A = this chain, B = another copy of it.
């Protein structure tokens, strides 16, 4: 039996994701498909438009066999470290083949990883953004640019895979039609990017997206409260206004005086400012939109450096849902898995291992009003 892994957000699950699963099933009809999915806050620094349970349900409905949640601490980190966290988890779950979408599926990601292994991501001396410095370093090593978001993510997966002793065969899939940042739904073609779909959701044009998502996604989107930074902005604004510099300094990725910049620029905002005003006010050559969005999640959930370090050292696997096949696989994988597998959050785990994810869940539920952790059990899809 082939065990296939995917690293996903499913924000929301759409026809492009369905197409990816179909391709996997064409190549490996007997595959068990394991997905490491971000929880309620995602790697680009934004709240998920629908919660992790709904997104798990959508994935299971599409034929995914096992969904586990990526700890939030991986999601507030740059692509390289995010990828490493996800790869570690999928490795422990016995994944053999990692599928990922890429703008250039013909790239030899293994070779690219090999050539760029010496890049360590310590760019603090450059007066430019982490992302820009990283891309420049990649260009230097390869002799050509990698600048498309999925290609870059693919390279990050490949580097993480190599770092972990190459447990996976990498299988890039050519992305069809919609680029990751495409903001318009392409008429006549029935695939649109998740960003384009969210854009329509923000405008409350749910009907517009009908043909770009499976029916089960469409139904969920019409039933659920769709969330975005708009819903969390007041809480973030309040948090920054009441945080001391001392407290801010303890948070992940707040260093080199960033706490002063955040406090000062936030103070200059008018009372009716919105999230984008905040980003624009704090943005600089050094601090990009994405990095600040991730910082916003860090501040909102109050994720400390200490917490990130602890979980990076001792990761865990949080089970969100499974099919029969997924359960069968999990029972086998368990025997060799070195990380604790959490099937439900209780009094102990919520103050210990799961503290950060639990906090993220409670904050998310202040907006969507649906409990996220205590009393929730993995979804079983027959």
Name A residues whose Cβ lies closer than 8 Å to a Cβ of B. 234-235, 237-239, 241-242, 244, 247, 267, 270-272, 300-302, 359, 362-363, 365-366, 368-371, 374
Cβ–Cβ contact B363 & A241, under 8 A: yes
Closest to A370 in B: B271
Q: Across the interface, which residues of B come within 8 angstroms of A301, CB to CB?
A: 242
A-B contact pairs, 15 of them (CB 8 A): A234-B366, A235-B238, A237-B366, A238-B363, A238-B366, A239-B239, A239-B242, A241-B362, A242-B301, A244-B302, A247-B247, A267-B362, A270-B371, A271-B366, A271-B370
Known: A234-B366, A271-B365, A271-B366. 14 other contacts (CB 8 A): A234-B234, A235-B235, A237-B366, A238-B239, A238-B363, A239-B239, A241-B363, A242-B300, A242-B301, A242-B302, A242-B363, A267-B362, A267-B374, A272-B369
Copies of this chain held together in the complex: 2
Min CB distance, A319 to chain B, in Å? 22
* Closest chain B CB from A331 CB (angstroms): 32
B238, B247, B270: the one within 8 Å of A238 (CB): B238
Chain B hits for A300, CB < 8 A:
242
In the complex, A234 Cα to B239 Cα: how many Å?
12
Task: Name the residue in A237, A239, A242, A272 with the highest tally of chain B Cβ atoms < 10 Å from its Cβ.
Answer: A242
A366–B269 CA distance with the chains assembled, in angstroms: 11
Partner pick for A366 among B241, B267, B365, CB 8 A cutoff: B241
Residues in chain B near residue A237, CB distance under 8 A? 366
Cβ–Cβ < 8 Å partners of A239 in chain B: 238-239, 242
Q: Which residues of B contact A241 (CB under 8 A)?
A: 359, 362-363, 366
A379 and B235 alpha carbons, distance in the complex (Å): 32
Q: Please report the C-alpha to C-alpha distance between residue A38 and residue B362 in the assembled complex, in whole angstroms.
A: 34
**Which 4 residue pairs spanning A and B have beta carbons closest together?**
A271-B369, A241-B362, A242-B302, A235-B238
In angstroms, Cα B247 to Cα A173, docked, is: 48
Looking at the complex, which one of B238, B271, B362, B366 makes contact with A371 (CB distance below 8 Å)? Answer: B271
Chain B: minimal CB distance from A252 (Å): 14
Question: Does B365 contact A242, Cβ atoms closer than 8 Å?
Answer: no
Shortest Cβ distance from A25 into chain B, in angstroms? Answer: 38
In the complex, what residues of B have CB within 8 A of residue A235's CB? 234-235, 238
Q: Is the beta-carbon distance between A242 and B359 smaller than 8 angstroms?
A: yes
Cβ contacts under 8 Å, A363 to chain B:
238, 241-242
For the complex, what is the distance from the CA of A366 to the CA of B359, rounded to whole Å?
A: 23
Q: How far is the CB of A105 from chain B (nearest CB, A)?
A: 42
Min Cβ gap A340→B in Å is: 22
Instruction: Give chain B residues whose Cβ lies under 8 Å from the Cβ of A234.
Output: 234-235, 366
- Closest residue on chain B to residue A243 by CB atoms: B302
Q: Hey, which chain B residues are within 8 Å of A247, CB to CB?
A: 247
Q: How far is the CB of A194 from chain B (nearest CB, A)?
A: 26
Residues of B within 8 A of A270 (CB): 371
Closest to A365 in B: B271
Give the Cβ gap from A280 to chain B, nearest Cβ, in Å: 19
The complex places the Cα of A247 from the Cα of B238 at a distance, in Å, of 16
Q: How far is the CB of A183 from chain B (nearest CB, A)?
A: 30
In the bound complex, residues from chain B placing their C-beta under 8 Å from that of A366 are: 234, 237-238, 241, 271
Q: Smallest CB-CB separation from A272: which chain B residue?
A: B369
Least distance between A376 CB and chain B CB atoms (Å): 12
